[in-house]
Structure 1
Amino acid sequence: MSQGNKIQDDLVKIGVVDPERVREYFPRVRDREDVGVMKCEESGVIFLSRSDHMHMNHYEEMSDLEYWGKGSREQSLETTLEDDTRRAMQFADEIAGKYWVDIGTGLGGVLDIAGGNAKKVGAVEPQIHARKCLTDLGYDVRGSIAELDDNSVDVFTLFHVLEHFIDPIEELKKVYEKLKPGGKVIIEVPHARDFLLSFLDLESFKKFTFWSEHLILHTRESIEKLLQFVGFKDVVVDGFQRYRFANHLHWLAREKPGGHIKWNDLSTDALDKAYAEMLVDKDYSDTLVAVGVKG
């Protein structure tokens, strides 16, 4: 076993990572000097050099809405509106008429937009202040997956949440237990083969994107094997591109984020659609979406 690295141990356990092929990929994450970034040269999976620096109370004890850097829920939701709206549309058919629970819902922007499409809406959010905010709005929000009833949920969603789990196998086992037979889990995660990393190999992007809270960047194969290991059937993994062409152009020219906003006038629907399709086709998308079914 690797000392202090539950993530690597689990990747070895499910047959994704060969510990003999693990090398340092980047010396540190953006917010901590004592946490490095590793990569398995065989599988391409990227993960942090340790996981013992993270604990659930890191999220539980955050004050007010500091995680989103804004003073109010309304202001904070402005930063997630594009993704919340896109997800509500992208997965509308999956949650229509179902009991849907969003894990790691944050301030619940996606609940506001998509909730009316579901038969029943719930959420899991460990941050106490965010949870209270949503409870005050009338949402049924639990502090952990374990608080939900077994065999009760039709659909779980985890939007950029799985990479935060300190023990993803155990958390996904809880998800499996809470799902009804035939129920689905939908997981959106950042991709280890992101074009800016795997093709352009941008140092500036590495300095920006690697973060102590993101314990792993999955490949298609690693997230598929993880879900299958837990017991999910009919697992399907698709690529998806969140950030537009202008974002990548800005990274190349300025070595900074935010190009999709600063250079928005360079974007057209046709250009961005064609660019995203190319990246997905070549397995260079920035995001993966995995769906698994409880047998």
Structure 2
Amino acid sequence: MQCYLCGSERYFRREGRVRDNPSIEILECESCGLVFLSEQNTNDEFYAQGGMHNQQQVYELTGRRDLINDMYRFNRSRLEFVLDSLIGKDIVDFGSGYGGFLIQAKPFAKSVLGIELESQVRAVYEQYDIPLASSLEQALAISQSLTTKATSDQKQLSGGGGNYDLLTAFHVIEHLADPIGILRQLASLLKDNGKMIIEVPNANDALLTIYKNKAFSEFTYWSPHLYLYNPHTLRKLGQKAGLAVDFVKCVQRYPLSNTLHWLSNGLPAGQKIWGGFLDSQILQESYESALASVGATDTLIAQFRKR
């Protein structure tokens, strides 16, 4: 077995287990640090019919509406992060789920487009009048149609490339069997110098690499997460796809209370229990800064740019 990013055949088994399929091994490349699974069992049909974005189903399975509330908070944070880049711009969200980010971004953007395989989300997009492509191929066809209809002057203004100024992909790239190939296709949707904002889980999350929390290592790995990236491998991914890498930023989505709850009780959602008296903006910023200094936040955000 070769590493997808660097081709090395040297790897070791990481501690932990894949929560929905313990027979799958978690491997880490000794050369570049890419974390990957020993088996890949997902495909387009899995995502189209999987019900991964059914909010009512999430509630029925877990009894926790706070998971849905978390998604609103995360999408609000994402909007604030990219707001300067999307005001008055044409944007496309790849793996857009039930449209949570696009619903918040639409009032600020010139136009929005979602790309989502899962069929049951379509009603949400119709409700909010947001165009939806059910596949990357359909999105490419839409982009090509827009280009064909444009005047020669408009083509010149768009930089001669695709039709979108900004493409976002939040917690999607880790699901892709061929992320380099998909990133190259996504780049064709962008105008020249168009930007991609990529958000992924960090393979070097402190709960895995510093605190070495057994409970977390048996919870966080999941069979649809085929690859997990660290700051180095995420940068390398963008470069291998032929994109300029503007930055890779370490971000801590979950506060210190969540970390402490994992360490003391082996369970998530500590912020729901202890956050009221423990978490504050100053503490969160300090905790994030400390983890970022060693590349061990729970999340990475990269900005790639079409050359």
What is the TM-score with the length of structure 2 in the denominator?
0.86
C-alpha distance 135-158 of structure 1, shift in aligned 2 (>3 A):
same
What is the TM-score with the length of structure 1 in the denominator?
0.89
Within-5 A mapping of 1:74-153: 77-148=68-139, 149-150=143-144, 151-153=162-164
Please list the CA deviations of residues 252-277 of structure 1 after superposition, one character each: whole Å capped at 9, or x if unmatched: 11111111111112111111111111
Mapped partners of 1:79, 1:290: distance in 2: 21
- Note if contact 2:48-2:118 (Cα within 8 Å) is conserved in structure 1: yes
2:22 to 33, 42, 63: 33
1:56 to 44, 67, 92: 44
Mapped partners of 2:52, 2:181: distance in 1: 28
1:246 to 253, 257, 273: 257
Matching residue's letter, 1:184: K
- Aligned counterpart, 1:159: 170
What is the SS of the residue equivalent to 1:19?
Answer: coil
Mapped partners of 1:147, 1:114: distance in 2: 22
Mapped partners of 1:162, 1:127: distance in 2: 16
Mapped partners of 1:161, 1:120: distance in 2: 21
Max Rg structure: 2
Q: Which runs of 4+ in 1 moved over 6 A?
A: none
RMSD: 1.9
C-alpha distance 87-63 of structure 1, shift in aligned 2 (>3 A):
closer
What is the SS of the residue equivalent to 2:50?
Answer: coil
- Note if contact 1:108-1:134 (Cα within 8 Å) is conserved in structure 2: yes
Between the two proteins, what is the percent identity of the paired residues? 31
Matching residue's letter, 1:140: P
- Aligned counterpart, 1:5: none
2:193 to 179, 182, 188: 182
What is the SS of the residue equivalent to 1:180?
Answer: strand
Shift of 1:105: 1.1
5+ long unaligned stretches in structure 1: 3-7
Matching residue's letter, 2:100: G
Mapped partners of 1:42, 1:234: distance in 2: 21
- Aligned counterpart, 1:12: 6
Please list the CA deviations of residues 96-140 of structure 1 after superposition, one character each: whole Å capped at 9, or x if unmatched: 111011111111111121211111011101000113431343110
- Note if contact 1:115-1:121 (Cα within 8 Å) is conserved in structure 2: yes
Within-5 A mapping of 1:240-279: 240-265=251-276, 266-279=278-291
Task: Count residues in correspondence.
Answer: 280
